[in-house]
Amino acid sequence: MPRDLGRVQLVGAGPGAADLLTVRALRAIEGAEALLYDALVCDETIAFAPAKCVRIQTGKRSGKTSMSQDAINRLMLRLARRGLNVVRLKGGDPSIFGRSGEEREFLERHGVSVEVVPGVTAASAAAAQFGMTLTHRGMARRVMFATARVEDGVLADDGWIAGADAETTLAVYMGREAAACVSRALIAHGRSPATPAIAVENAGRNDATIIEGTLQTIGARLEDARRAGPVVILIGEVAGLRASNVEALLRTAGAVG
């Protein structure tokens, strides 16, 4: 007798460190019968899956060859039709540039039950790790998450005027190659070239590194550093709020008497 149709959980693995998994994410991995994981998910996290679990690396790393999205969708469907509990393990949060909407729509269209388990996103991990916040009273009233695609040295998308607002913290994901173009676009829309900016490689992990600069300089500094790992760029006044200089920055902003 055939097994009942399985289900799929789209699970956020967080920015990389296994101890930043949520309890719900950990339980999902521990109960997986098939685990499809992104290239950036660490071995320690994958090891939480049961010994008999089918484990398939699906790639999905920016700029690298990987399994196509259509192939991933159909693989999840095949495994679910075999009656397996499928965990699609994604770096960060599935709902932030994780294509969870596309995958959920495809699976539900074919009758498969889907649950999304959120995870810690790279911008939050970077801010916490390096002693700053994404919002701050009197400095940053909103946060904007963005990706950037460059074609022939020019940003292939628009909408950057929203990130030019001085009270917006802009988090640019997968932006290593696009940093200089993003800076030029924001400056052209009126954001100050002196706006603090940082680039964090491997946010949330023990080997995380930070490059500090301004909107004017962050692209060149990132290029000179030749980083290979995943990078999130944070742009805004809060990017200057390191633990050692919070009071001075707040005085400059008029938040301290």
- 60 catalytic? Reply is yes
Active-site hit among 4, 19, 43, 60: 60
- 224 catalytic? Reply is no
Q: Give every CB contact of residue 256 below 8 A, 6+ residues apart in sequence.
A: 247, 250
> CA angle, 39 as apex, 35 and 44 as ends, to 5°?
65
CB-based contact 13:58 (threshold 8 Å): no
The whole-angstrom separation of Cα 247 and Cα 241 is: 9
Task: List phi, psi (to 5°) of 76.
Answer: -60, -40
Residues in the chain: 257
The whole-angstrom separation of Cα 57 and Cα 205 is: 21
Active-site hit among 19, 38, 70, 93: 38
Catalytic residues: 38, 60
